[in-house]
Structures are given as C-alpha cells and as structure tokens.
Chains A and B, each alone.
Chain A
C-alpha cells in the first residue's frame, strides 16, 4: 500500500469520525427541539441563539460531572462497556459510500473508507457485536435494574437482527452483490430499491428502530419499570458515551437505509453536473439530506408512539417480522425466477 493512499484514508477516517460525532451531538439538539415542537414547548433556547450551543454545554457538563464507579462493580468491565458501545457504533460507517469520488489535485479520492466486497455482511456482523457494550456495562454495574435493562436490550437486538438480515438478503438477491458501493451504483437516478422492496424496507426500518433501542422499542431504558435501564449506575462521560452511541447508531442506520433502499448518493438530475468537484459535493449533500430525513422520522416516531410492552415486542419480532421477511425473500426469489 502506498503512503499517499494511507494518508488519504487516515484523513478521511478522521473527518468522517468528526462528522459522525458532530452529527450525533447536534442530533441531541434536534431531538430536544423536535420533542419541544411535538409537545408545544420551546425547547432549549438559553445557550446561544435558538440554543444551538446546547450540545456543547451538555458535553462540557458531562465531562465535569463527578465520576462514580460502584464499589461492587467489576471495575474494568464497567469501564469497557461504554467504550465498546462507542467503538462498535463508530466503525460501522467505514463501508458506507458517502459519494463517488472527489478529485483533489490529480488524485481521485474515493468517498468511502473501504469498498470491501462483503460490505453488507460487515454491517450485519458489527451490528451483532454491538450488543456487547450494553451487555457488559449492564452486567458489570452489579445492579438488578441495569442487568434487566441489558438483558432486555440484548434479547431484543438478537431477535431483530434476524429479520434485518432476512430483509437484506432480498436486496442482495436482486442486486447480486454484497458491496454497498455497487448496490448504490445500481440505483442510478430514481431507480431506487425501495420501489422493488417496499415490504423489505418496512421490515428493515422497524428492525433499525429496534436495533437502535429507540422508542417504541426502547424497552432497555423503560423508566417506569427499570429506573433508567442498563445505564443506571453510569455517570459523567461514561453515561455520555452510552447516550452518544445511541445517536451514532441512529445516524449510521439512517445512512445504511439511505444507501440500501433510497439510492445512496443518487438523485435524478445529478448526472447533468459536469464539474467533478461540484458533482461530489452534490452527491454528499444528497446523501446527507436523505440521512437527515431518516433521523427526523426516527425522532418523529419516538415522540408520537407509546412504548410497546415487552411481550408484544418479542411477538412482533419472532411471529410478525421474521415470517414476513421470509415471505418477502421467497416472493423476491419467485419474481426473479419467473420474470428473468
């Protein structure tokens, strides 16, 4: 590997991580503003104009809070938990194509960290590992509420992973590739996968909500039953890491849905732009517009729908979504067989 490529990739990874963290920070602001709008309130408006500095104030507060590690906890595992949650949340974005290529000087910089030919599987693999952060943290706290929260969260994530994978299989069957870049390239203009896979999209979206532990599936932090869920014992920035990881997961799963179902950086009319730099910028803008749209829908759902009961959640996962996803897969196969 030549040095220029290494530097290019490192810089890109740094920028991407910074953008991800920045997005996550401002998603907390967006969440509070949207919640305020839905509840006919004003929301945060003290720090800066319209309260735009609120995330910075929050982060500063979290850093300076007293840090408590419970006496009876497993000290190292207690520290490991939030770190793992953060790492698994951040590394997922490595295979998502944010645009095609951006010319800098005479180099064509690919706007994707790694175009591996198993991109989709990588995502599913990292998602299945994402359970550990919550599980280890909840267990190491040595608190029955956090253990309950952790067990609920992981049971839910394991259950919804299955239908998520099955929904993705239908897309893979259609596109014939596991590379996210190629999946995006096949969705030129308005030729998006959502028109061919509407059922698969709905299944995937529901699973994404559940995988991020978002309402109406946020059983892991059901205050009325569990005080706060898996993060009860956490304070200071460790708690901040858990909360942040949730928002990063939301950001990444929105990006994934935009990539797989909504054509990624494709938009009708983009081919007319001749200037390659302008084209790259437009592609990134389109991608981010789609991502922000999905994030808004996530928040919209959270402040509109009440929480499920735990048994309803499991029923929906195992008896509703998995059979539906299998039917979707078989239908896709049958249609492909008879129309091709």
Chain B
C-alpha cells in the first residue's frame, strides 16, 4: 500500500479533529462552528474526488443552510451549563449503538468500493451534467419520490407548528380574563 496523497491526509486530519471537537466541546456554539469546519473539509474531499457539484451542494445545504438554523436556535436559547439537562446512560448507549452501526455501514461501503476511488477518481462522474443526466434519467422515480417526501415533511412541519386561529384567540381571552380578575 503506497502512501496516500498529502492533501488527503491533511484534510482527513482536520476533519477528524473537528469532528472530535464537536462531540467533546462543552459549549454548543463551539460545537456547531467545529461542525461547520468539518463540513468544509468534507467538501474539500469531494473536490479531490472531482465531485464539484456534490462539494458545493454540501456547502450550500449543510454548512450554509442547516448549520445557520442550528446556530440560530442555539443563540436564541442561549444554552449554558445550567440549562443542560441531565441525561441518563441509556442515551449514551443508544447514541453509541446508532453511531457504531453507521460506522459499520460506511466501512462496509468503503471495503466494497475499495480505495481505488480515492486513488484514481473518475474525471467525469461528479460533473453537474453527468449527475443531472443520471438523476433525471436512470433514477428519476426515486428522485421525484424523495422530492414528494420533502414536500410532505415540510407541510407537516408547518401544520404542526401552526396554532389554530380559534385556539390562539381563546388563549388570549383567557389571559385577559386572568389579568382583569
């Protein structure tokens, strides 16, 4: 086994370090920032594999959109040490099991594809054109189904988050009554 390319090693080092910091940091905002750096280095990995589209979409969706929302919620809640709920060991066990099975699956996938993917990345697979053709040709139905699933989830979230107008009025009335009595 010959030595792996240096950019890959450096990036992997950064990724793993940041990922560890995400888990070990006591400050949730620091965790989120470390996670953002980790996403950046993962995007750089995609670039090394010639998957430019995947790289930039990873940045836009994860580093750009999802992490902003995470940061938003954390800043609004302003979590300190006092606010941290005491978790039982069952939580730790459950997360260890789920993370462990994810690791297993990823290792298996890597075993199957082999490290050849890393050493000789395909020149064309990751380009927008080819990816688009595959997504809208061969995998059209799964792609559209995923889209429908997302819309469904979105509408569901809006419905759950929306209070009934009648409910809102009655609670306001109740507050007024409480204030006057």
- For B, the interface residue count at a CB cutoff of 8 angstroms equals 19
Q: Which residues of A lie under 8 Å from residue B56 when comparing CB positions?
A: 118, 121-122, 125
Shortest CB-to-CB span from B115 to chain A, Å, is 24
Cα separation A116 to B72 with both chains bound (whole Å): 32
What is the CA–CA distance of A74 and B36 in the complex, to the nearest angstrom? 18
Is A79 positioned at the interface, with any CB of B under 8 Å from its CB? no
Asked if B72 contacts A151 (CB within 8 A), the reply is: yes
The answer to whether A139 touches B75, judged by C-beta atoms less than 8 angstroms apart, is yes
Q: In the complex, A77 Cα to B36 Cα: how many Å? A: 14
Stretch at the interface among A63-71, A129-137, A215-223: A129-137
User: Which parts of B120-165 form the interface with A (CB within 8 Å)?
Assistant: 127-128
Q: In the complex, A135 Cα to B56 Cα: how many Å?
A: 22
CA gap between A151 and B68 in the complex, in Å: 10
Closest to A136 in B: B33
Tell me, rounded to whole Å, the shortest Cβ–Cβ distance linking A118 to chain B. 5
* Bound-complex Cα distance A147 to B76 (A): 9
Interface centre among B36, B59, B60, B71, by most chain A C-beta atoms within 10 angstroms, is B60
| A158 to B52 alpha-carbon distance, docked (Å) | 23
The answer to whether A117 and B128 touch (CB under 8 A), given A122-B56, A129-B59, is yes
Once bound together, how far apart are the Cα atoms of A117 and B59, in whole Å?
A: 16
Instruction: Tally the A-B contacts, defined by beta carbons under 8 Å.
Output: 54
B interface, by DSSP: helix, strand, loop or mixed?
A: helix
A17-54 vs B, Cβ < 8 Å mask (1 yes, 0 no): 00000000000000000000000000000000000000
Which residues of the other chain, A, contact B36 by a CB distance below 8 angstroms?
Answer: 132
Task: Render B44-59 as a binary contact track against A, CB cut-off 8 A, 1 for contact.
Answer: 0000000011001101
Q: Which residues between 15 and 73 of chain B lie within 8 Å of chain A, taking CB atoms?
A: 29, 33, 36, 52-53, 56-57, 59-60, 63-65, 68, 71-72
Closest to A178 in B: B128
A-B contacts, 20 listed (Cβ < 8 Å) = A77-B33, A118-B56, A121-B53, A121-B56, A121-B57, A121-B60, A125-B60, A125-B64, A128-B64, A129-B59, A131-B64, A132-B36, A135-B71, A139-B71, A147-B75, A151-B72, A154-B68, A154-B72, A155-B72, A158-B65
Which 5 A-B pairs rank lowest in CB-CB distance, beginning with the nearest?
A: A128-B64, A125-B60, A125-B59, A121-B56, A139-B75
Q: Which B residues have a C-beta under 8 Å from some C-beta of A?
A: 29, 33, 36, 52-53, 56-57, 59-60, 63-65, 68, 71-72, 75-76, 127-128
